[in-house]
Structure 1
Amino acid sequence: MRKNQAMAHRIALLGLNEVVGFDLSAPAQVFGAARAPDETPFYETFTCGVGGLPIRASRGGFQILPDHDLEPLATADTVLVPGTYAALRSGTVEPVVAEALRAAHDRGARIISTCTGASVLAAVGLLDGRRAASHWDWAGRLRRFWPAVEWDFDVLFVDDGDVLTSAGVGAGIDLCLHVVRSDHGSLVANQAARRCVVPPFREGGQAQYIERPVPQGGIGGTKATQSWALDRLADPVSLDEMATHARMSIRTFTRRFRDETGLSPQKWLLQQRVAHARLLLEQTDLSVDLVARRSGLGSATALRQHFQQTVGVAPSAYRRTFRGL
């Protein structure tokens, strides 16, 4: 947690002309849905624009009237730049915008971009020498304009500490939930996701911190078997048992499961076990051995191996990050 719960974390949403409307509004929804049990908000968002003038949306034929000029950037805890095409035209941004962003970063504010908002951060020089994500469709121009940036168009988002960037459109929600999860833990982030009616987690190249995902409802298919398997993570669950539960042959079950999840049943089950281990490490004092057994990974050695492959850190380091232990 970055601040006392009684003090809402201030987020300035910086809208520039040719803004992606979804990218500007979605973060306000996600952060606004992150609340304490007594409904106290963890975040306060401010929509800002140059001179407080209307901001032209990139598509749809509408404009957005921000409540503020650039003044909130001087005190915000986090500054978020939504997707925009303005900087992609010339490779530059208005001097007043560049000055405000550099000043915010220099005083220690967390800087976030979603989608092509990364072009603004790159134009200001905040991404030089850093790994960063953005929309894959603009890869050629982004690399050409800003070759000093280590662009990665294969991941949903990149968390580089004080500067975070996401891929296009929907990936911005994944990054916002990651921020909430990093600030306040899995329970708050997953509650925010449910309030926004979005998945709490999407698999991607960037390791993400997740609560055990619950399959979306549906009729037929393998949804019921997914829920059945999630209730038995601590027990051995074979492919044959999953297919039997779904009342399908192994071949048919495997094909339908892959069609619905994009993964084989075995790989999906392993992901759920690691995800549950993450939750146990975040929210309990169980030993690594017990976490391994309760998540169905068997041994501490297996847990460490899968954790290193999936998250990139040891279970003990992960626990310290989230629980300060």
Structure 2
Amino acid sequence: GGAFTLAQAGLLDGHRAITHWNLTHLLREHHPQVTVVSDALFLHDDNIWTSAGTAAGIDLCLHLVRTTHGAETAATIARSMVTAPYRTGTQAQFIERPTPRADRDEDALASVREYALHHLDQPLTITDLAAHAGMSPRSLARHFQATTGTTPLRWLITQRLAAAQKLLERTDLPMAEVAGRTGFGSEVTMRQHFAGHLGTSPRAYRAAFRQPAGSNPIAS
């Protein structure tokens, strides 16, 4: 993969990098000066981006579009490519395939995700989500991780961020109302998550990506 080319050129020496999970051991073996991360889709270190294979490369490209042109533009591109619009770099690479015995749990998890997306304005907890799925919190966490590659709460945060980005792009709602509608509870909490996940603030994000009424987001 591309990480091997960068490593052979010496660009990854002393840096963190990622490659496909099936090649991680080879990257470590041939380039011990590189800190190889094994459980992520893509990552950034000192202005160098690496990803875990072809699909993760698409996720990385969409992430870069999202951070430079906004969530609406990234979502439009994702729809045209028939791919998921928002997978975070910290999501695990390897997703266990459900077996026939797990079909009922998979349906329950799909129901949980749909429920959460329709109730983002509420202070959802893993206990709330587990009750909706008819599982214990521990069982929900285990099945959710195996199916999606991330935890229920991390997934929920990414959905809250995506919803907040859309409101900041599409509306002039006050920051406190955006935070309330997306379940962050307060502008301070929303600002902390924007800083931690997007490297910016909600106000700076709105200033950069607010779409004029009637504009075509893909044309920006």
Structure-2-length-normalised TM-score: 0.64
Distance change >3 Å, CA 301–CA 129, structure 1 → 2: same
Q: What does residue range 290-301 of structure 1 map to in structure 2 within 5 Å?
A: 290-301=177-188
What is the match of residue 166 of structure 1? Answer: 51
> Shift of the alpha carbon at 1:298?
0.8
Q: What does residue range 41-60 of structure 1 map to in structure 2 within 5 Å?
A: none
What is the match of residue 309 of structure 1? Answer: 196
Q: Say which of 83, 99, 107 aligns to 1:198.
A: 83
Per the alignment, in what secondary structure is the counterpart of residue 292 of structure 1? Answer: helix
Tell me, in whole angstroms, the C-alpha distance in 1 between the residues paired with 2:30 and 2:14.
Answer: 14
Q: What does residue range 158-307 of structure 1 map to in structure 2 within 5 Å?
A: 158-159=43-44, 164-205=49-90, 220-239=107-126, 241-246=128-133, 248-251=134-137, 253=140, 256-307=143-194
CA RMSD of aligned residues (A): 3.8
> Shift of the alpha carbon at 1:231?
1.2
Per the alignment, in what secondary structure is the counterpart of residue 229 of structure 1? Answer: helix
Could you tell me which amino acid in structure 1 is paired with residue 64 of structure 2? V
Distance change >3 Å, CA 219–CA 140, structure 1 → 2: closer
Bigger RCO (CA 8 Å, 6+ sep): 2
More helix by share: 2
What is the match of residue 143 of structure 1? Answer: 31
> Shift of the alpha carbon at 1:175?
1.6
Per the alignment, in what secondary structure is the counterpart of residue 170 of structure 1? Answer: helix
Tell me, in whole angstroms, the C-alpha distance in 1 between the residues paired with 2:186 and 2:17.
Answer: 35
Distance change >3 Å, CA 161–CA 276, structure 1 → 2: farther
Structure-1-length-normalised TM-score: 0.47
Mark the runs of 5 or more structure 2 residues left unpaired by the alignment: 92-104, 212-220
CA contact (8 A) 2:43 2:89 kept: no
Q: What does residue range 92-171 of structure 1 map to in structure 2 within 5 Å?
A: 116-124=1-9, 132-135=17-20, 136-144=24-32, 147=33, 152=37, 154-159=39-44, 164-171=49-56
Question: Number of residues paired by the alignment?
Answer: 194
Shifted more, 156-165 versus 279-288: the winner is: 156-165
> Shift of the alpha carbon at 1:151?
5.7
Tell me, in whole angstroms, the C-alpha distance in 1 between the residues paired with 2:132 and 2:8.
Answer: 55
More strand by share: 1
Tell me, in whole angstroms, the C-alpha distance in 2 between the residues paired with 1:319 and 1:150.
Answer: 35
Deviations 1:24-82 (A, max 9, x none): xxxxxxxxxxxxxxxxxxxxxxxxxxxxxxxxxxxxxxxxxxxxxxxxxxxxxxxxxxx
> Shift of the alpha carbon at 1:256?
4.2
CA contact (8 A) 2:194 2:201 kept: yes
Tell me, in whole angstroms, the C-alpha distance in 1 between the residues paired with 2:75 and 2:158.
Answer: 17
Deviations 1:72-105 (A, max 9, x none): xxxxxxxxxxxxxxxxxxxxxxxxxxxxxxxxxx
Q: Which runs of 4+ in 1 moved over 6 A?
A: none
Identity of aligned residues (%): 42
Distance change >3 Å, CA 118–CA 220, structure 1 → 2: closer
Could you tell me which amino acid in structure 2 is paired with residue 173 of structure 1? I
Per the alignment, in what secondary structure is the counterpart of residue 183 of structure 2? Answer: coil
